[in-house]
Amino acid sequence: MVMNIKPIMAFMVMMMKIGILSTALAVEASEALPGCDEWCGKVHIPYPFGIKKGCYLNQNFSITCHKTDLNGPPKAEAFLMHTNIRVMNISTNGELHVLRPIVRNCYSYGDNYLDMNETDLSVPTMYPLSRSKNKFITIGCNHVGLILGDDQGTNVESGCISVCTRRISVVDGLCSGSGCCQLEIPKGLTKLSLAVGELLNYTEIRKFSPCGYAFIIEARRFQFLSSYIDKFEEKEVEVVLSWGIRKELELDCGLNARRNSSIFNGTHYRCQCLDGYEGNPYLRHGCQDVDECKYPWLNDCKHKDKCSNTEGNYTCHCPKNFHGDGRKGGKGCTKNSTSSIPIIIGIGVGLPVLLIATTTIYLGYKKLKFIKQKQLFFQKNGGFVLQRQLSQCNSPKDIVRIFSQEELEKATNNYAQDTIAGKGGYGTVFKGVLDDGLTIAIKKSKFMDESQTSQFINEVIVLSQINHRNVVKLLGCCLETQVPLLVYEFVTNGTLFDHIHDTTKHVPLSWEARLRIASETAGVISYLHSSASIPIIHRDIKTTNILLDNNYTAKVSDFGASKLVPKDQTQLTTLVQGTLGYLDPEYLLTSELTEKSDVYSFGIVVLELITGKKAVRFDGPEEDRNLAMYVLCAIKEDRFEEVVEKGMVSEANMEQIKEVAKVARECVRIKGEERPSMKEVAMELEALRATKGEHSWANVRLSAAGESSPFVESGSIGAVDDSMKLELPHVEHGR
């Protein structure tokens, strides 16, 4: 079993402190029904669970106990109901620890490509996986792991990519994408499967990382070791399931004053002993009074010999000739006086003075603490770094406005639910209105670590360099909160992705509108590469990062992953970051980021506009999964008109659509040096809008290459071999 020793040691220390208490209670009362077995091997079986009929609440709580050696020492294994799910521990606090298999995908010598391996990890519907206690893990240097499930009829699909081009880059204990990646699992899953497969056919990586692994495991039990990419020997790992009692079952937690119940989701509840009691709350007399006076760590009496136990509590007395509160944290014991009049007078005079003084000191302390906290957040959120970077970039001081915490809370009615404009993996966007009537969008991340702080600062720095009508305008930021906030102009009409793929909420875009949006977007990227004071590579161009206003004008957003490029450099070596389907394959393999990486991503966006299909999809044949390969194969086979989205084609615009497709094909060439610059792309698209594309440079490039057909390209991604194919289940857009 994969173990992380530090949390387990802390748990053992805690258990040692309460060991005597737990033993005493176990002697006094069993946690099973009378006459029922309480153990299956080393697994404790408390009610409402049970082994024999009549020992469990209902069939859902039955445990099958298989004895493995009747003649030798007692050995037995517990299984949930009549499934093959092996139970390791049952807790009356609503947790069930079980063993679940891992899925692996190993390279065999001579294989050209490995299919994705998949395993079913479904559990009974009344035992969903605990989201807070488990993690989804993928191990390998060239693998993608996927988790596919069903949450009350809603498909849940997620995954992460684990890559590393060198063995030395994998670090013990670090599971953030290099050799190991991890995700939080969706809430409430019962029907799910895991899959793992190779990302690319890359023989050099297989030499030191021949296998990929994917599994769900109790988070505190896993600590990544670099040796796992060579060999990970575990077959099963421990997973935490949640359980409770259905509301309609006749099991009243409140049959006596020692227990009550709490609802943990909409359909189930759990019983729990009240404070001062221990035991099994699911039994009528299962909660036993704890004698806190017997165990020093359970009471805070100043004089331990003056502790007296009460039902569900305890009392701390004062020694003889003393009175008052005998607890350590109380007012203490006071010696008895012969006359209480001086005390009464002293209290009557001193109490108001003390109250005023205490209130004044407290309010002053609260104000000082609030100021210091805001200063601490300002420093932690990179405020001083941001100020230094802005000064180095020679940005005008008023280009980035610093908002106060109170100002943004007022604008959003303290971030009320009805002000939420959108949610994603990064966090939440709120819509707010300032006192001057300006409508704003506030980007609030879910959490922030050091790497995200630098990404936050990077987005502010990048946007401070940009002045373009088709870029979402950054108005300012707030650094006084625990998680820093970015404030933008509010773009009213959603994302380009929504308008292309969600026709239930949006009217389909005409070809003229699509071409204009493509041209405007190309103009923005060309500006970033060629006209900004410091060249900028966006690094995450995709349809979800292109917003539309009421006039369907394109607004490029999300510069958190962007890079400023010094003028004396043409490429940067950096950790691969982007979105599956839009990611430049040359950048993925070499980690060398250039302006041509944005050109590739833009080419995929144009193909989306032409076809109305997603960048990566799995609802069709294998050869149709990658959008670029799907379109370019159709072009090569002279069936381009089949892939164009129905409803926007006419005899007048079909030739123009073909010319735009040629531009997109040039953008998605495998080699970056063969792709056009974004300045060329922007000029070509603008010319096509005006001239219908009769003299496209895309045609000139094809003629120069000596190609016989204007729609066949041997150097494009449509001609790549099988080593560049992606074999993945369905994955939605996301980093």
- Which positions are catalytic? 540
* Structure tokens that stand for 468 in this block: 């373009």
C-alpha radius of gyration, the chain, whole number: 32
Element (H, E) at 378: helix 341-380
Give the end-to-end CA distance of the chain in Å, rounded to a whole number.
Answer: 31
Beta strands 401-402 and 474-478 are parallel
Q: Which residue has the tokens 């309480």?
A: 38
* Structure tokens that stand for 126 in this block: 């009344």
Residue 414 to residues 366, 443, 674, Cα–Cα distance (Å):
21, 14, 51
Closest C-alpha among 408, 449, 454 to residue 432: 408
Q: Work out whether the CA dihedral 720, 724, 728, 733 comes out positive or negative.
A: negative
How many helices and strands, by DSSP H and E, does the chain display?
A: 16, 36
Q: For residues 456 and 382, is the Cβ–Cβ distance under 8 A?
A: yes
Q: Report the alpha-carbon distance of residue 587 to residue 594 in Å, rounded.
A: 8
- 3-state SS, residue 658: helix
Q: For residues 574 and 589, is the Cβ–Cβ distance under 8 A?
A: no
Q: Which residue has the tokens 């607890």?
A: 327
Interacting residues of 117 by C-beta distance below 8 A, sequence separation 6+: 103, 104, 105, 195, 196, 197
As a 3-state breakdown, the chain gives helix, strand, coil percent values, each rounded to 5, of: 35, 25, 45
Q: What dihedral angle (degrees, nearest 10) is formed by the CA atoms of 502, 503, 505, 507?
A: 130
* Structure tokens that stand for 9 in this block: 């040691």
Q: Work out whether the CA dihedral 385, 388, 391, 397 comes out positive or negative.
A: positive
Q: Report the alpha-carbon distance of residue 302 to residue 320 in Å, rounded.
A: 14
Q: Report the alpha-carbon distance of residue 140 to residue 145 in Å, rounded.
A: 9
**DSSP E strands, 424-520:** 427-433, 439-445, 474-478, 485-489
